[in-house]
Chains A and B, each alone.
Chain A
């Protein structure tokens, strides 16, 4: 089966010799949900813009439905829905005008879905101009424009950014319904780990221009843990990071916090066998903590 989205060895920099992306590869299959995570500036938006054909990669190839998004933009965009982080909707148009434009552009536009979503988001009418909408409402209009042609792939760049919890939840509810009813594949970037948990699927974590982690969410929960190793016992993080299964170690006060692939029991045993450490504390942690341990600062901050 052809992947619906495929990044192969993508690199891109905006300043010479400072790559934002440095050899990123992963792919998505039909109906799959992938959460794209990473710190601010990790290259999530850059990668998404490359998939949309809005940016050229400096090396590597991107294929959407097996096509190049820059060579065949129309064929690709017909089958994609996209909501950008800072959606720029024309502020002078009304909701109705904007929807009419999209209905005209996309032959597969579904008026029933459009009515249902307008209803669900509580728009009484569509005469309001975009400039008079709240941030949450504007995002909802952007979502309507992105999904009513029933795309096979929905790309959401920080869909919840700047939204209040209620608006975020409504946005999420709509995404879940689309998953249920249409089986739409979704690639979304987010800093809200609870939203990532709710949408489920797979997590791709970008860090330092590369994919640091690419696994199913459930496997991340059940097969990763954080070991707390006293720094007095192991002087340098290299000794820990060179152990099989160790993804990263960073200093946190008196300890190294090391992320390992494996269950807490297995990792505790491994540390005893390899470094002779007795009874190291190994714990399963929520996704948010794991994220911090994987991409958080490696410097020990001295606060005096």
Chain B
């Protein structure tokens, strides 16, 4: 998978990496057992400090999404962290209410929100649109 970072974002670079990998796992673009790019390769590819990549991987490992196997590399965990479904369901209901009220206040109708959700689903499962066009691989503003 291809990662994009934007150094002038207010979100630290390591968090941008964490978010993209979590989204790829959620959307099934990264599956259990898939190998991640090594620290060094990713650091040189994205032109960012190796410690920044290490921090992102360490945090994802602490959260139980990925694991490092000595001498073999870093992989998506075979079993992803268990979450309390009932607890999550309540949080998701709350997020949905917030999303809908924000949309209605902005003048969007229910069907339009559904469209937005479908777009988001495509981005999660197929990758962000920028990644589907090889010509627009970077979106960094200098």
Which residues in A have some Cβ–Cβ distance to B below 8 Å?
Answer: 33, 165, 169, 172-173, 176-177, 179-180, 193-195, 197-201, 217-218, 221-222, 284-288
Contacts and interface: CB of A to CB of B under 8 A. Distances in A.
Contacts of A288: 8
A112 B9 CA distance: 38
Contact of B10 (A165, A176, A177, A284): A284
Interface stretch (B41-49, B78-86, B106-114, B128-136): B41-49
Contact of A286 (B8, B43, B48, B50): B8
A33 B48 CA distance: 12
B13 A197 contact: yes
A180 B12 contact: no
A286 B6 CA distance: 11
A197 B7 CA distance: 6
Contact of B47 (A176, A284, A286): A176
A173 B9 CA distance: 20
Contacts, number: 61
Nearest to A219: B12
Contact of B11 (A195, A199, A221): A221
Given A165-B142, A194-B142, A218-B55, A180 B10 contact: no
From DSSP, what is the main secondary structure of chain B's interface residues? loop
B7 A180 contact: no
Contacts of B13: 197-198, 200
A176 B142 contact: no
A110 B58 CA distance: 33
A193 B10 CA distance: 12
B48 A200 contact: yes
A285 B44 CA distance: 26
A193 B6 CA distance: 12
Contacts of A193: 7-8
A180 B49 CA distance: 8
A118 B48 CA distance: 22
Contacts of B14: 218
A173 to B, nearest CB: 5
Nearest to A287: B8
Interface of B: 7-14, 40, 43-44, 47-52, 55, 140, 142
Contacts of A195: 7
Nearest to B55: A218
A218 B51 CA distance: 11
Contacts of A198: 7, 13, 47-49
Q: Which of B7, B140, B142 has the most CB of A within 10 A?
A: B7
B51 A200 contact: yes
Q: Which 5 A-B pairs have CB atoms at the shortest separation, nearest pair first? A: A200-B49, A197-B7, A194-B7, A221-B12, A200-B52
Given A165-B142, A176-B43, A201 B10 contact: no
Contacts of A222: 12
Contacts of B8: 193-194, 197, 286-288
A66 to B, nearest CB: 24
B47 A173 contact: yes
Contact of A179 (B7, B11, B50): B50
B40 to A, nearest CB: 5
Contacts of B50: 176, 179-180
Contacts of B44: 173, 176-177, 180
Of A177, A200, A217, which is in contact with the most chain B CB atoms at under 10 Å from its CB? A200
Given A176-B44, A218-B14, A201 B7 contact: no
5 contacts: A172-B47, A173-B44, A180-B40, A198-B49, A201-B49
Contacts of A197: 7-8, 13, 48
A221 B7 contact: no
Nearest to A199: B49
A286 B9 contact: yes
A197 B14 CA distance: 10
B18 to A, nearest CB: 12
Most chain-A Cβ atoms within 10 A of its Cβ — which of B10, B48, B142? B10
B10 A286 contact: yes
